[in-house]
Amino acid sequence: AGLRPAIEPGPFNDLHPCTRSGNTTGFWTNHTYFNWYKYVDEHPEIFSVDANGKRNVTNKAPQRNAQNHVNFLHPKVLELDMQRLKEFEETRARHWNYSLWPNSRYVRFFPRDNENVYPDMSPASRALWTPDRENSTLSEVIFGYAAKFARAVGKEYPGKRLAFPSYAGYLYPPLTVKMPDNADVLICTVKGNSLLVSKSHWDHNVDVVNQWY
C-alpha cells in the first residue's frame, strides 16, 4: 500500500539503456486479447474463420482461451478496442491485467500467439498475406490494424502513443501500410540470444531493426 506503480514515465528516461526500458519509460507491451471470448455471443462476426469459412468460437472454459481468434480486418474490433480504452479511462475497467493498463503515454496492442498459428483465413485476409517474407506473413494485416488503432488513439487522446510489437508471424515491417507518428514498435527477436548463438542470427536481428528504421 502506498507504493507508486512503475508504469508512469519518470525523470530518468535517459538511464533506460542501463536498466530496463519499460521500468523507466512506460514503453512495453504484451498480449492484450486474452479475454475477448466475452464477445462471442454478442459479436461473433469479429472472430476469424477457417479455410472452410467456419468460425471456431466458444465462451466456455477451458477452450475459450485456445479458440476465438480475432479478425483484425473487421471494423468492430477497433470499435471495441476504443470502447475498452474509454471504459478504462473513465472507470478503470479491468480489461487487461495490471501490467498492461494504459498509462499517461502508452496504450498497448499485442495479438495473442494463437493469431500467428490460426489467422483469419477469409479471402480478404489471405489477399494481404506475404508468405515470401520471413516470419512476416501477417505483417500487412497486423500492422494495418495497428496503424488504424494508433490513429484512433491519437485522435481521441492527443499525446498518447500505441506500443505494439513486431513478432513471429509479423516480424518485418509492412510494405503497404504507413505507420502514424504516434506508433512505437517493440521489436521482439525470434532467434534467441543472437550474439551467443551465431553470427547469422545477429545479422538477421540487425536486418530486422534496419528494415524498421
3-state secondary structure of 167: strand
Instruction: With CA atoms as reference, report the closest residue to 5 among 18, 30, 22.
Output: 22
Under the banding of pLDDT at 50, 70 and 90, the label for residue 10 is low
Under the banding of pLDDT at 50, 70 and 90, the label for residue 194 is low
Q: What's the pLDDT at 159?
A: 95
Q: Is the pLDDT of residue 15 over 70?
A: no
Looking at per-residue confidence, does 22 or 131 come out higher? 131
- The residue behind cell 513478432 is 167
CA geometry: angle at 152 spanning 151 and 155, to 5°? 85
Looking at every residue in the chain, the average pLDDT score rounds to 86
Instruction: With CA atoms as reference, report the closest residue to 149 among 29, 20, 49.
Output: 29
- pLDDT tens string 91-140: 999 899 888 899 999 999 999 887 777 889 999 999 999 999 999 999 99
Looking at per-residue confidence, does 153 or 63 come out higher? 153
| Main-chain phi, psi angles of 20, to 5 degrees | -140, 125
3-state secondary structure of 114: helix
Q: What's the pLDDT at 7?
A: 44
CB 54 within 8 A of CB 125: no
Supply the DSSP string of 91-130, one letter for each residue: H---SS-GGG---SSEEE----THHHHS---SHHHHTT--
Q: Is the pLDDT of residue 6 over 50?
A: no
- Give pTM, 2 decimals: 0.86
CB 71 within 8 A of CB 34: no
